[in-house]
Amino acid sequence: MLESVFKKKLITRIEQREFPGSIVLRLDTSFIQGIPDHIILYEDMWAAFDAKRSQFAPVRPNQPYYIDLLNNMSCASFVYPENEEKFIHEIQRSFRTIRSTRLPIRK
């Protein structure tokens, strides 16, 4: 499967089925070399991902660094057809954890 076809299907799935109302943005990867390709904005949470056509597709320099860095902040991952389900479950788990650890706002 072409990477562009996979990305389009994945983004449609995220925005329409998994996280309705979310926005998936394409990041300017020329600004910071190695930054993930996309960020998912959902309510007051976010996750980043870099889509690959397969688990054997090459990664660019610094990509593993930024995936690890952003994963420690929220949720970030490489995603490819072979791990798509796992990726979706990771985001769902991460968003549930973020929600459950927030303190209620007092007025």
Answer for the pair 69, 40: CB distance below 8 angstroms, yes or no. Answer: no
Q: Domain residue spans in the chain?
A: 3-101
pLDDT for residue 95: 86
Which residues make Cβ contacts (< 8 Å) with residue 50, sequence separation at least 6? 36, 37, 38, 59, 63, 67, 77, 78, 79
Strand partners for 45 = 42
Instruction: Please give the Cα distance from 49 to 73 (Å, whole number).
Output: 13
Q: Hey, what CATH topology would domain 3-101 get?
A: Trna Endonuclease; Chain: A, domain 1 (3.40.1350)
pTM, two decimal places: 0.86
- Residue carrying structure tokens 């990771």: 90
Tens-of-pLDDT digits for all 107 residues of the chain?
A: 789 999 999 999 999 999 999 999 999 989 999 999 999 999 999 999 999 999 999 999 999 999 999 999 999 999 999 999 999 999 999 888 766 666 555 55
pLDDT for residue 101: 61
pLDDT for residue 97: 74
